[in-house]
Structure 1
Amino acid sequence: MIEQVFKLAEGNGKAIEKILFDENVQYLHMVFPQNEGLPEHFSNSNVYMTVVRGRLSIGLGGQEIREYTSGTLLKIPFNTKMNVRNLHVDTLELIVIKAPAPEK
């Protein structure tokens, strides 16, 4: 078998899964019920964030919180202050890719 296979969690419970972490990329899967999210932080790489389902509420840098629906891909530059939340009833599901992979 040449390929590697990875399985993502299913469901509506909070999950932050580190699916693939290697020297090239970090691939994360995140699920947030209402009023859940990440602690405010600065991006440690270029971040590519895809909204798979639900509605993302995100504040970047000094900007006010903006909302993005499923099917949206955000490209967030390195060292950007991020506030990622689900402020809605529907479950939020994200795929987050960091490239290049951050140094440890």
Structure 2
Amino acid sequence: MIEEIFTLARGPERTVEKVVQDDNVDYIHMLFNKDEGLPPHYSNSNVYMTVLQGTLTIGLNDQDDHFYPAGTLLKIPYQTKMNVRNTHEDLLELLVIKAPAPKNYPRD
């Protein structure tokens, strides 16, 4: 078999699963219920965040929170402060791709 197969969690419990982490990319699947999310942190690569279901609440650097519905793709630059969470009733499902893979990101 040439391909590798990965199965994503279907919820509804809080999930942050690092599906693929290799030399090319980090591919992360996340599920958050209301009032769940990630601790504030800085992006360690370029981040491509797709909202698959629900509504994402995100604060970037010093901006006010923004809200993004399912079907939205955000491109977030390296070293951006991120506050990712779900402030809505519906389950929030995200796919996050980090490229290049953080372990290969050029450091200062």
Instruction: Give the TM-score range, shorter chain.
Output: over 0.9
Question: Which residue type is aligned with residue 75 of structure 1?
Answer: K
What are the equivalent positions in structure 2 for 1:83-94 lying under 5 Å apart? Answer: 83-94=83-94
Q: CA deviation at 1:92?
A: 0.2
CA distance in 1: counterparts of 2:71 and 2:7, whole angstroms: 20
Residue 35, structure 1, aligned to residue 62, structure 2? no
1:11 positional shift: 1.9
1:1-104 alignment runs, 5 A limit: 1-103=1-103
Letter in 1 for 2:72: T
Matched residues, number: 104
Q: Structure 2: how far apart are the matches of 1:61 and 1:11? A: 30
Partners of 2:89 and 2:45 in 1: how far apart? 30
Coordinate RMSD, CA, aligned: 0.8
Question: What are structure 2's unaligned runs of at least 5 residues?
Answer: none
- For the residue of structure 2 that corresponds to 1:103, the secondary structure is helix
TM-score by length of 2: 0.95
SS state at 1:36 partner: coil
Deviation at 1:103, TM superposition (A): 1.7
- Tell me, in whole angstroms, the C-alpha distance in 2 between the residues paired with 1:36 and 1:53: 15
For structure 1, which runs of at least 5 residues remain unmatched after alignment?
A: none
Report the Cα distance in structure 2 between the residues aligned to 1:91 and 1:75, rounded to whole angstroms.
Answer: 22
Q: List structure 1 segments (4+ residues) > 4 angstroms apart after TM superposition.
A: none
